[in-house]
Each structure stands twice: as structure tokens, then as C-alpha cells.
Structure 1
Amino acid sequence: MTFEYELSVPTTASPADVWALWSDIGSWHAWDPAVERVAMEGHFAEGAAGTMSLVGGIEAPFVLEIVEPGARFLDRLTIGDLVIRIDHQVSATDGGAEVLVRTTVEGPGADDIGPMVTGDTPRALEALTGMAEKSS
């Protein structure tokens, strides 16, 4: 079973300002309401792994599967039999950037769990772009 979700939002921030927040795992809790804390071994690069502590006491191991500095990263979380991939992309536009987040949930119950996983995405992107705009 697979669930897919995608959301794209414009911002007046530059791609570099968005990337600065994405690549700083210590800031994730400040803009993503589902995240309490993130710990990662090594640098923000492909293959780096860590643990994400989510609201509700959920601990999820994650791996950065793709990292294209300044443009894109894809992280994979594993929670029991579920695999959650979140693809984050930012691209320049006239006067700012376009931020795209694409989430795929695979495994038993994905259609039921997916909406819960992605429910905070609009608020997370609003907070992320707001913080990025303030720093630009």
C-alpha cells in the first residue's frame, strides 16, 4: 500500500535561505510542528543517519538518501513496517523561490497513516518560509 502527498508554496526568500534551515537539523523543531528533536551522525550529506523524535513520543530512525546542496534532500524514516520518504526541493523563481515537499508512505495502513503524517505539512512550510524570509 502506498500513500502520496505533495505541496508546493512560493516564498520571497532565496533558495539559499531555505536551504540554510533545511540543512540545520537543529532548527527542524522550530518550523516543523511534528518534530521535537533530531540527532544525526556526521554532516548533512547522503548516507548520514540519525533519529528523529516526533510529537507523541515516536522515535524514528532516518537516513538522508539524496542530498543536492542548495536544492534538494530526501530523507527516509522507518517506523515499524512503514517507510516514509520526504523529498524536499527548492528552486529559484523571479523574486524568491518555490518550495516543494513530496511525501510517500509505504507499508501496511499507508492510506490511513499518510494523512496523519502529512497533516502538519502546510503549517511546517508556512513556518519554514516565514523563518527563511526573516533571515533574507
Structure 2
Amino acid sequence: MTFEYERTVTTTASAADVWALWSDIGTWHVWDPSIERVALEGHFAEGAAGTMGLAGGIEAPFTLEVVEPGARFLDRLTIGDLVISIDHVVAASDGGAEVTVSTVVEGPGADDIGPMVTGDTPKALAALVGMAEQKS
């Protein structure tokens, strides 16, 4: 089973300010209500691995599968038989940036779990761009 979700927002913040928050795992719990803590082994770079502490006491190992500094990163979490891939893309636009998050949940029960995984995405994006706009 596969569940897919995508959300795009525009912001007056620069792509660089959005990227600065994305690439600083210490801020993730501030703007994403589903994350309680993140630990990453090494730098924010392709192949780096770590653990996310998610709401509800769930611990999920993750890997940064793709990192294109300033533009995109894709992280992949594994929770039991589920694989959750979250692609984050930021691109400069007139007067700011366009921010897109695409989530794919694969595995048994993906159609049931997917809406729970992505339920906070609108709140997370709003908080992320709000913080980025304060920096700009």
C-alpha cells in the first residue's frame, strides 16, 4: 500500500532563510508539532542518519537520502514495516520562496497511517515560513 500527500506554500521569506531552518535539526521541534526531538549523527548531509522522537513516544530512525544544499532534502523514516519518505523543496520566487513538502508512506496500513503522518503538515509549514519570515 502507498499513501501520497503534497503541500506547497509561498512565503515572503527567502529560500535561504527557509533552508537555514530546515538544515538546523535543532529547530525542527519548534516549527513541527509532530517532532519532539531529533538527533543526527554527523552533519546535515546526504547519507547522515539519526533518530526522531515523534509525538506519542514513537522513536523512528531516519536517513537523509538526498541533500541539495539550499534547495532540497529528502529524509526517510522507518517505523516497523512502514517507510515514510518526506521530500522538502524550496525555490526562490518573486518576492520570496515557494516551499513544497511531499510525503510518501509505504507499507501495510499506509492508507490509514498516511493521514496521521501528514495531519500536522499545514501547521508545520505555516510555523516554518513564519519563523523564516521573521528572519528575513
CA distance in 1, matches of 2:135, 2:37: 22
Pairing of 1:7-86 with structure 2 (within 5 A): 7-86=7-86
Instruction: Deviation per CA, 1:14-53: give whole Å up to 9, x if none.
Output: 0000000000000000000000000000000000000000
Runs of at least 4 residues of structure 1 off by over 2 A?
Answer: none
CA distance in 2, matches of 1:135, 1:29: 18
Q: How much does 1:56 deviate?
A: 0.3
Tell me how many residue pairs correspond in the alignment: 136
Q: How much does 1:116 deviate?
A: 0.2
Corresponding residue for residue 134 of structure 2: 134
CA distance in 2, matches of 1:78, 1:16: 29
Aligned residue type for 2:30: A
Instruction: Deviation per CA, 1:80-109: give whole Å up to 9, x if none.
Output: 000000000000000000000000000000
Q: How much does 1:10 deviate?
A: 0.2
- Structure 1, unmatched stretches of 5+, are none
- Structure 2, unmatched stretches of 5+, are none
Corresponding residue for residue 122 of structure 2: 122
Alignment TM-score, normalising by the size of structure 1:
1.00
Q: Any idea what SS the aligned residue of 1:56 has? A: coil
Sequence identity, in percent?
82
CA distance in 2, matches of 1:46, 1:123: 27
Q: Any idea what SS the aligned residue of 2:111 has? A: helix
CA distance in 2, matches of 1:18, 1:101: 12
Alignment TM-score, normalising by the size of structure 2:
1.00
CA distance in 2, matches of 1:30, 1:11: 18
